[in-house]
Structure 1
Amino acid sequence: MRIAIDVTMDYQLAGAETVLLTLDAAETDGQKVLQSALDIADATLHRIPGEGGTGARVCASVTSDRLKLRYSAVVDVTRSEIMLDALPQAGLGALPPEALSCLRPSRFCQSDLFVPFMGRRFGHLKGGAKVIAIRDWVKAEIAYVSGSSTPTTTAMETFVSREGVCRDATHLFCALARAAGIPARYTSVYGADVHPPDFHAVAQVWLDSAWHFIDPTGMVAADGVVIIGCGRDAADVAFMETAGNAYVVSQNVRVTRQ
């Protein structure tokens, strides 16, 4: 599937500063970037590797107090949807380093707090069947409500409130999967079926010696997303980071199938 991406952002900054951006489509398994362009007014750019070596971060040294950018890309997505139900879960000693780091608690995914709940609710399941059950539970229990959470909302807070956005559903899914001994990482993506249109968050789980997509909101499938970056939680792949305060003037994310 060929996917076109068009992003415009206009932010008021506290002053001239370096802005860290994670919004480039990654060159990674299952997708090929055919075209890509990033234009930022009054800025010099350089790129550094993304978290865990997936994708890249852009360091934009902005010389004014306004960040105005446009990013566009065309990406061929070649990965296909895979039935996860029968895939086995790896033992602790068989996990590679990249998966081990996604088995531990993190700032927004306090997986250690969910171990008793996971034993009671999903202890009878294993591997891919457990992953599917966790996904279905999160989708059924967590209402998608725009504006219901903040950038500091944790998985436990979402578990209690039973509402949030894609970021919150993904944090909760990752926390539950990790509590069950299944590595899960937070993955920022572009998706053509995301409503309202925006940057989107999904999870990836380590089963049968590979990473596999899970969208706890049910909006997108593996063959319809473009990976931007991956990490333990949203803090690792924030689309924009600044030293001072930044205020949105306008932002538009448009993702379409070609």
Structure 2
Amino acid sequence: MKIRIHTQLDYELSHPTDMLLQVEAAMIPEQTVEMAHINVPDVLHFARIAAHDDIGERIWVRAERRLLVDYRAVVSIERLLGDLTNLPEIPPHQLPGETVQYMMPSRFCQSDQFQTFVDAEFGELRGGQRVVAIRDWVAGHFSYVPGSSAGDTTALETFVKRQGVCRDYAHVVTTLVRASGIPARVAAVYALGVEPQDFHAVSEVFLGGEWHLVDATGMAVEGGMAKIGVGRDAADVAFLSAYGTVKMNAQSVQVEPV
């Protein structure tokens, strides 16, 4: 599948401010970035650095008065797809070293507080069967309500409220999967089917020796997502982290099939 991406950001700055951008589709084996261009005019500093796990890049920007970003890309998604249900989990002692951090609690994914729940709710299910059951449980028990959460809302708070946005769904799925002894992380993606169109967050789980994207909101499918970056939770994949006061004037994300 091939998708076309167009992202625009317009932020007002009260004084010279350092910002970390993560908006470009990652150049990784499972997707080919056929065309890409980012325009960030009139900035004081622009420098690329590696993103989390070397998946994608972040951009350090220092700007004053205003930040304008225009990003366009065409991405061919070549990810191998399969039925999660049949995929086995990897015993912890056989996990690759880079996956171990995704077994542990993080700021927004307090997986250590959910072990009793997952054992009681999902019983003897293992591997992909448990991941699918978790995805479907979250989809059936939570309501997608824009504005119902904030940037500091945790998986535990979302679990209690039973509502949120894509970021919250991803946090809860990631948390419950980690509590089940399976590595899970949050992925920022561009995805077909997201309404209203925006940056999208999903969970990514390690099964059968590979990572697989899981979206409990039901808006996107694995074959229609272009990965931007990954991390322990949403804090690692924010599209804009500002080290100062910024005000959003406008923001738009458009994703369409080619």
CA distance in structure 2 between the partners assigned to 1:70 and 1:34 by the alignment: 17
CA distance in structure 1 between the partners assigned to 2:237 and 2:182 by the alignment: 21
What are the superposed Cα offsets for residues 9-36 of structure 1, whole Å, 9 maximum, x if unpaired?
Answer: 1111231122110011101121000111
2:50–2:58 CA contact under 8 A, matched in 1: yes
- Provide structure 2 residue ranges, at least 5 long, that are not aligned to the other structure: none
Matches within 5 A, 1:113-192: 113-192=113-192
What SS does structure 2 have at the residue aligned with 1:102?
A: helix
Residue type at the aligned position of 1:100:
V
Aligned length: 257
What are the superposed Cα offsets for residues 70-104 of structure 1, whole Å, 9 maximum, x if unpaired?
Answer: 01111111114310111111111111122111110
TM-score norm. by structure 2 comes to 0.98
CA distance in structure 2 between the partners assigned to 1:38 and 1:97 by the alignment: 34
CA distance in structure 2 between the partners assigned to 1:247 and 1:255 by the alignment: 24
- Provide structure 1 residue ranges, at least 5 long, that are not aligned to the other structure: none
- Counterpart position of 1:84: 84
- Counterpart position of 1:94: 94
Residue type at the aligned position of 1:48:
I
CA distance in structure 1 between the partners assigned to 2:94 and 2:115 by the alignment: 21
Residue type at the aligned position of 2:81:
E
2:18–2:244 CA contact under 8 A, matched in 1: no
Q: State the 1:123 CA deviation.
A: 2.2
- Counterpart position of 1:49: 50
What are the superposed Cα offsets for residues 85-138 of structure 1, whole Å, 9 maximum, x if unpaired?
Answer: 111111111111221111100000000000110110012200000000000001
Residue type at the aligned position of 1:226:
A
Matches within 5 A, 1:222-233: 222-233=222-233
What are the superposed Cα offsets for residues 38-59 of structure 1, whole Å, 9 maximum, x if unpaired?
Answer: 1112113211001011000011
Q: Which region of structure 1 is more displaced relative to structure 2, 126-135 or 29-38?
A: 29-38
CA distance in structure 2 between the partners assigned to 1:68 and 1:23 by the alignment: 13
Residue type at the aligned position of 2:65:
D
1:89–1:126 CA contact under 8 A, matched in 2: yes
- Counterpart position of 1:201: 201
CA distance in structure 2 between the partners assigned to 1:195 and 1:81 by the alignment: 23
CA distance in structure 2 between the partners assigned to 1:234 and 1:6 by the alignment: 22
What are the superposed Cα offsets for residues 193-238 of structure 1, whole Å, 9 maximum, x if unpaired?
Answer: 1011000001111111110111111111111010000000001111
Asked if 1:216 is matched to 2:216, the reply is yes
- Counterpart position of 1:28: 28
CA distance in structure 2 between the partners assigned to 1:84 and 1:236 by the alignment: 25
CA distance in structure 2 between the partners assigned to 1:29 and 1:98 by the alignment: 17
2:187–2:204 CA contact under 8 A, matched in 1: yes
2:25–2:228 CA contact under 8 A, matched in 1: yes
Matches within 5 A, 1:56-67: 56-62=57-63, 64-67=64-67
What SS does structure 2 have at the residue aligned with 1:85?
A: helix
Residue type at the aligned position of 1:189:
V
2:9–2:251 CA contact under 8 A, matched in 1: yes
Aligned-residue sequence identity (percent) comes to: 44
- Counterpart position of 1:252: 252
Distance 1:96 1:80, change over 3 A: closer
